[in-house]
Amino acid sequence: MAHTYYDFFAGGGMVSFGLGADWTCLFANDIDAKKAESYRANHHGGAELLLKDVAQVSVEDLPGTPDLIWASFPCQDLSLAGKGAGLAGKRSGMFKPFWKLVRQLHADGRGPKIIALENVYGAITSNGGRDFATLAAAFSGLGYRFGAVVVDAVHFLPQSRPRFFMIGIRSDQRLPAGLCADGPAPLWHPPALREGQRLLSKSAAARWLWWDLAAPLKRNIGLADLIEEQPGSVTWHSAAETQYLLDLMSDVNLAKVRAAQSCGRRIVGTIYRRTRTDAAGVKRQRAEVRFDDIAGCLRTPAGGSSRQTIMVVDGKRIRSRLLSTREAAALMGLPDSYVLPARYNAAYKLAGDGVAVPVVRHLAEQIFEPVLRRNRLSLVA
């Protein structure tokens, strides 16, 4: 039997690739027209997608009763790089009208069995943990038992991308044995999350669960495995452009390049440009490189500063260019068949704003599907 779900703040519909063929999307929503085009291009026309501000969506727009509601609500005001507005901010504040719909579904007798929220790591510490407590209170107020984990996509893909997931189970649903532990696990519950849990209200803490996820298999793919020799969306830099990047490097970063040259094999690194203060107190632009076969976290390419540059070192030969859009998609776990926007920034933004596909699959395998199977067996019995 297929499982059903709603996908709020759906973007290009990456969640569906993680959930897989056993899941049917009853309803999806986003406000971004360009992302909606990608959603429709990759979901057979996307008849279930409503392009509309979530604050303008009504409960009458929502069909059926979903097993799962997934919501990757906007992260900008919760990000460590943001201005600290938190859930009171204009963008991350979209959680409030979304949750209003969830409450209305419950009042209508159609509350989902499972709710999963996804956001940046900063959601745990935003506003001194008060935003985390607000999310917890939302789950507790509807009677959900809930817990949270931090999952880094680097366990599955060569991209450093820690993300926060809060997952709640409706109070009438039975939990399979082994789904929860008596306390936190270091792999999934970092110190900030453990501290946030300690600060919850008494009523929220009473409903808290420590999700006990299995450790993922060892990742068998590196950044170098994803690099295209002849990318379609970008071109290799000229020798002068590559030299310019090298000239922006400090002695420490140049030493990394020299070490890569001495390895006797092709080495792929990533470069970010950052402003650093030198020994004389002068702010200078620097190019910082890493050769750990892992890409930095993909971000929205606002102003171009967050677009990653790759450097390929093969002996004396050094080349550089922007990360291609297809490489960005691969770093999110999307298949080669995924249709990307033609414009570079649109495609990069789509990837940077998305959710890593194998992380969704891991949560589905470890939590969503066991809960749904356990309760369907209960109905049969």
Digit-by-digit pLDDT tens for the chain (381 residues) are: 689 999 999 999 999 999 999 999 999 999 999 999 999 999 999 999 999 999 999 999 999 999 999 999 865 545 555 555 555 555 556 889 999 999 999 999 999 999 999 998 988 998 888 889 999 999 999 999 999 999 999 999 999 999 999 999 999 999 999 999 999 999 999 999 999 999 999 999 999 999 999 999 999 999 999 999 999 999 999 999 999 999 999 999 999 999 999 998 999 999 988 888 887 888 888 999 999 999 999 987 654 456 899 999 999 999 999 999 999 999 999 999 999 999 999 999 999 999 999 999 999 999 999 999 999 865 554
**C-alpha span between 166 and 363 (Å, rounded):** 11
* Phi, psi angle pair for 189, to nearest 5°: -125, 85
Q: Is the distance from CB of 30 to CB of 24 less than 8 angstroms?
A: no
Determine the Cα–Cα distance for residues 363 and 151; give it in Å rounded to an integer: 9
Delineate the domains of the chain, giving CATH numbers in brackets.
3-217+355-380 (3.40.50.150), 223-351 (no CATH)
Q: Which of 124, 142, 54 is nearest to 86 (CA)?
A: 124
Using CA atoms in the order 40, 45, 46, 52, what is the torsion angle rounded to 10 degrees? 60
Dihedral Cα 123, 308, 325, 73, nearest 10 deg: 10
- Distance, CA of 295 to CA of 69 (rounded, Å): 30
Residues 6+ apart with CB under 8 A from 116: 68, 69, 70, 71, 165, 166, 167, 168, 363, 368
Q: Could you tell me the pTM of the whole model?
A: 0.93
Q: Evaluate whether 127 touches 167 at the Cβ level (below 8 Å).
A: no
User: In whole angstroms, what is the distance from residue 146 CA to residue 141 CA?
Assistant: 11
